[in-house]
Amino acid sequence: MKKEAPRGPIHRAPELQAKEKTQFCDGAVDTMCSFYGVEKTVFTEMLRDGYTDIGFGRGPLGWSDEKTSRYTVAFAAFVKKGSNIITTFEVEKEKAPFADVSLGLSERHYSPDEYQKIVNKFKLVLVKEDLAGFIERFDWPQR
């Protein structure tokens, strides 16, 4: 008797999983733009400043750090070729008794090791992309 493969979100076609991951991560940039004042010009300035790649996304839904109760709702990391500094835009929230509290938008700078620790600590789901291609592809919110 032949066993059928289990069905469900874990066993979908890889291209569907990649599309859903990209949509999930696009939502993080949309959050930055819609609620925290980040505009397309910020990303084009990063490109002009020599940043070539972007990693963008957020933490998993429903998860928060056990010690601090913080979680990341929007994250964008910019990488400049030949530099050991990764510049990020981060929006964190903190779980509170009656409602989650936004800690606002922060710009931070990390070494590659520090950056990896942040990605691991907040269990960030990220999509990596060419920055110029991302700017062209992303559906920027209209103000």
Give yes or no for a contact between 73 and 90, defined as CB atoms under 8 angstroms apart. Answer: no
pLDDT value, residue 124: 96
pLDDT value, residue 143: 66
The Cα–Cα gap between 45 and 14 comes to: 34
What confidence tens digit (pLDDT) does each residue in 25-53 have? 999 999 999 999 999 999 999 999 999 99
List all residues 6 or more positions away from 82 whose beta carbon is below 8 Å from its beta carbon.
Answer: none
Residue 8 is encoded by which pair of tokens?
């469900």
pLDDT value, residue 5: 45
Tell me which residues of the chain have a pLDDT lower than 70.
1-16, 143
| Ranges of H-type helices in the chain | 14-36, 40-48, 112-121, 131-137
User: Would you list the domain boundaries of the chain?
Assistant: 39-134
